[in-house]
């Protein structure tokens, strides 16, 4: 059984699914689940596809927007206009009122 802290979730998920993985398989899954690997993978980041990148991932005249951008909590705020941010915060307050659920978007 692997001893790496970063592979423990992979082992727990495999056990939950009734699967047993070799150390090599566990290491491979762990490596492929890093932010950097997922950002480069066309299966998880369609904005790496050259055709989609120019057609679908754009903001105004700016093309080449990344679907998986930085991997930083709260970075989405940098993409909202002040009006969009205000509208989102109002929506969040209204819909979450009376619940103990919170929107964790800061480190």
The number of beta carbons lying within 10 Å of the beta carbon of residue 10 is 20
62 beta partners: 59
Give the domain ranges of the chain.
1-33, 74-99
* Distance (Å, whole) CA 37 – CA 101: 31
Task: Provide the pLDDT for residue 72.
Answer: 78
Task: Provide the pLDDT for residue 53.
Answer: 64
pTM reported for the whole predicted model: 0.52
* Distance (Å, whole) CA 76 – CA 23: 36
Mean pLDDT, each 10-residue run in order, the chain (107 residues) = 68 95 94 88 74 63 66 81 92 90 69
- Dihedrals φ, ψ of 34, to 5°? -70, 160
Task: Provide the pLDDT for residue 21.
Answer: 94
């Amino acid at each position: 059984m692997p001893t790496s802290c970063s592979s423990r979730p992979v082992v727990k998920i495999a056990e939950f699914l009734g699967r047993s993985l070799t150390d090599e398989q566990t290491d491979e899954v762990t490596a492929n689940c890093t932010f950097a690997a997922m950002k480069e993978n066309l299966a998880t980041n369609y904005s790496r596809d050259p055709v989609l990148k120019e057609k679908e991932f754009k903001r105004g005249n700016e093309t080449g927007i990344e679907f998986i951008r930085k991997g930083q909590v709260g970075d989405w705020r940098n993409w909202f206009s002040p009006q969009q941010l205000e509208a989102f915060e109002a929506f969040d307050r209204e819909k979450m009122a009376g619940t103990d659920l919170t929107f964790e978007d800061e480190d």
